[in-house]
């Protein structure tokens, strides 16, 4: 008898949803950074263990202020998934219960699926009593199927969490994905995301939210035995272009070299990466532009 089902990972930005998914998969399918709103798309991560297939869906962090079309799209992406899955992992940070969590809890009020509370970053607190008190207080707010105090970064209690998730997966005659498949995202998409991760991690406050990455060419060059990748970083204003490039091009060079290393690791091939920066005013608040840039609205 097989089990197979979908698990949504939801929560406020920056609580560690993508870090958790990557840890479960032992593979980086979803980019992470210290800045909130790093994830912008639904990212599927598949894990098959013996008779069970877990299909995780990482989502953009839910947030209440929606200044631009891209923010509204990110919230829609995250919310739309919760009605289509078998299990929801509601990820929060230990000791931090904010208005955003209250708001998400309200939204969860109407769902019929099992919701597991995942309290992350326990490595930051180191106080068992406080952790347990926090868990108890939050459990009183909602009929959670279960709860876990974990550290996605250190891998603490994640196996136990996975065992509980398995109990809630429906019985299925067959798996939905091949047993060795990890994601349904394309190589091109993953490459763009790796570049965006380096931009998120390297640049200051404002710029990462006003940029996106487009892959123009991605082709294996037989003669040189390497993958040739040409990508454009789109920003909203001239000033941002200068910030991405940096003085004497140093910043862009660093971003390119870090991204290239990760892409080479992912593909197992040598990579030639060329990055361009272009201004495309207002792309993040323009639904048509978003669509043409590969955002699912």
Ligand X SMILES: Nc1nc2c(ncn2[C@@H]2O[C@H](COP(=O)(O)OP(=O)(O)OP(=O)(O)O)[C@@H](O)[C@H]2O)c(=O)[nH]1
Under the rule (CB under 6 A), what is the footprint of ligand X? 11, 13-19, 32-34, 36-39, 60-61, 120-121, 123-124, 151-153
Answer with the entry of ligand X, Mg ion, none that 123 interacts with (C-beta below 5 to 8 A by kind).
Answer: ligand X
With CB under 5 A as the contact rule, the residue among 14, 18, 48, 202 that binds Mg ion is 18
Instruction: Please state, in angstroms and rounded to a whole number, the distance separating the CA atoms of residues 178 and 176.
Output: 7
Instruction: Please state, in angstroms and rounded to a whole number, the distance separating the CA atoms of residues 161 and 28.
Output: 19
Answer with the entry of Mg ion, ligand X, none that 139 interacts with (C-beta below 5 to 8 A by kind).
Answer: none
| 33 belongs to the binding site for Mg ion (CB under 5 A) | no
| Residue number with CB closer to ligand X (105 or 277) | 105
| Residue number with CB closer to ligand X (33 or 114) | 33
- Residue 11: CB minimum distance to ligand X, A: 6
- Residue 214: CB minimum distance to ligand X, A: 20
- Residue 164: CB minimum distance to ligand X, A: 18
Options 17-25, 87-95, 148-156, 225-233: segment touching Mg ion (CB under 5 A): 17-25
| Residue number with CB closer to Mg ion (4 or 29) | 29
| Residue number with CB closer to Mg ion (59 or 114) | 59
Instruction: Please state, in angstroms and rounded to a whole number, the distance separating the CA atoms of residues 94 and 254.
Output: 34
| Residue number with CB closer to ligand X (134 or 229) | 134
With CB under 5 A as the contact rule, the residue among 14, 22, 33, 39 that binds Mg ion is 39
Q: Which residues bind Mg ion (CB under 5 A)?
A: 17-18, 38-39
């Amino acid at each position: 008898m097989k089990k197979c089902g979908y698990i949504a990972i939801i929560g406020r930005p920056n609580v560690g949803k993508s870090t958790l998914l990557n840890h479960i998969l032992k593979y980086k399918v979803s980019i992470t950074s210290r800045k909130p709103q790093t994830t912008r798309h639904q990212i599927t991560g598949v894990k098959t263990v013996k008779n069970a297939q877990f299909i995780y869906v990482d989502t953009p962090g839910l947030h209440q202020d929606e200044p631009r079309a891209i923010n509204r799209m990110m919230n829609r992406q995250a919310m739309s998934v919760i009605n289509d899955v078998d299990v929801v992992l509601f990820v929060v940070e230990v000791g931090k219960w904010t208005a955003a969590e209250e708001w998400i809890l309200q939204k969860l009020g109407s769902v019929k699926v099992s919701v597991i509370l995942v309290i992350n970053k326990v490595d930051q607190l180191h106080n068992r009593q406080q952790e347990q008190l926090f868990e108890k207080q939050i459990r009183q707010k909602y009929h959670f199927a279960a709860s876990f105090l974990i550290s996605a970064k250190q891998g603490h209690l994640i196996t136990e969490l996975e065992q509980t998730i398995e109990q809630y997966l429906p019985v299925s005659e067959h798996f939905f994905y091949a047993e060795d498949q990890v994601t349904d995202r394309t190589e091109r998409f993953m490459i763009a995301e790796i570049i965006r991760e380096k931009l998120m991690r390297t640049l200051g406050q404002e710029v990462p939210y006003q940029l996106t990455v487009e892959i123009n060419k991605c082709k294996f060059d037989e003669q040189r035995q390497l993958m040739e990748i040409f990508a454009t970083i789109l920003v909203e204003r001239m000033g941002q272009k200068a910030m991405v490039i940096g003085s004497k091009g140093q910043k862009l060079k660093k971003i390119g070299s870090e991204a290239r290393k990760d892409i080479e690791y992912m593909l197992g091939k040598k990579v030639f990466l060329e990055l361009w920066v272009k201004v495309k005013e207002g792309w993040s608040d323009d639904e048509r532009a978003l669509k043409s840039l590969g955002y699912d609205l």
